[in-house]
Structure 1
Amino acid sequence: MVVCEIFIRASLAAILIEIAMAANHIVGGPNGGWDTNSNIQAWSSSQKFSVGDNLIFQYPPNHNVIEVTKADYDSCQPTNPIQSYSDGASTVPLTSPGKRYFICGSPGHCNQGMKLAIDTLASATSSTSSPTISPSPADSPAIPVIPSIESPESTNSPAESPEYITAAPSPLFETDVDSPTFSPVIPSTEKSQDPSTASANKENVQAFIGIAFSFLLMFIAF
């Protein structure tokens, strides 16, 4: 309840402030009016129109007020009105910023100067954004720069000195791995002989030589 009451009071205060600051602009000024005898353009150039203000048109029955577009304002064309008033005391609230155009729809009156163009500005009660204040360099605390002390060993990085570059041994190219040595087996072309067979062959050869020598001696004796 307290929050709702505060909100309602703040809203009412804002409305009252806006109403108090709103201005009622009597078209043509206190010494003129909405007629062919008043210099309406000179009057409008001396005014400042804001959102929340009111335009008050006061005129006799032979006049009226018609709000039109910029093109119809320039050509004094009243056949396509945005708004039209003919009560003799017309109040037009300025509810939004932007340009608005008014003419008198009676024949020939617009060409005689009964036309009004205004530029409504934003409400004076609208809050303006506060400028962002950034600290100046003089206000910023100075941060001392401490030089780094490098040891002589760190002046030359391993990437810059060739003597520090060592290649890591690759397991694919290791030569110190002990691998078994395989000697090729060459098949022998000689047949292995039994020792008893070799001894018999030797005795046969010796007997053959003895027989041959005996025949030789017999041949010599004859």
Structure 2
Amino acid sequence: MKIAVLTGAGISAESGIQTFRDQDGLWEGHDVMEVATPEGWQKNKQKVLDFYNVRRQQLLQVQPNSAHFALTKLQTHFHVDVVTQNIDNLHEKAGNKNVLHLHGELLKVRSEKSDNLIYSWKKDIKIGDLAKDGNQLRPHVVWFGEAVPLIEDAAQIFSNADLIMVIGTSLQVYPAAGLIDYASVNTKIIHIDPKPSVSETKRISVFTEKASIATPKVVQQLISTYL
């Protein structure tokens, strides 16, 4: 059985990573237009680098939680593809093998001019840190207003899935939120979120709990049901 998992900020929040909420346009007190857009980058590169440098150092201090590890357990029994909106590496640290990062990765950098010049990176990015093409390095993240290059790969995963799990995301951020629309009309969907944006139906099972609480229970239930 092929299981496609879509994860959002809620699964990382329980490991201590701050989540983004756009109702006030702020991300940890920062205007997202200044730190998460191409325009903000052109206006003040140092400010953008400082913001992501702090995020990167915070990430190096946190660990996966029981929801991440439950998905690792699930992949020992089924083919599991994790499509995440998160830019952290907690899925990988927990042992998840097939992880697609829709919005980029905090522990990678790339040339500001060449999207294919990507490097692993754990230290701070400084003005003057250059890619092989001679251009400034920037965070390897998808900013607001930029294309999501891996969305077609993600859509393919969801179109081939026998079962879909949505964990820790309100399904409000597009294009990621539209991924479940690629699934077959008969594909079962499990939605785990304290404040779900969908209602339970014959096709959709909703668990109104935190990811760390519900995911291990759901995973055990799937293993018991399908094996």
TM-score tier after normalising by the smaller chain length: under 0.3
Higher RCO, Cα 8 Å, sep 6+:
2
More strand per residue: 2
Normalising by the residue count of structure 1, what TM-score does the alignment of the two structures yield?
0.20
Normalising by the residue count of structure 2, what TM-score does the alignment of the two structures yield?
0.20
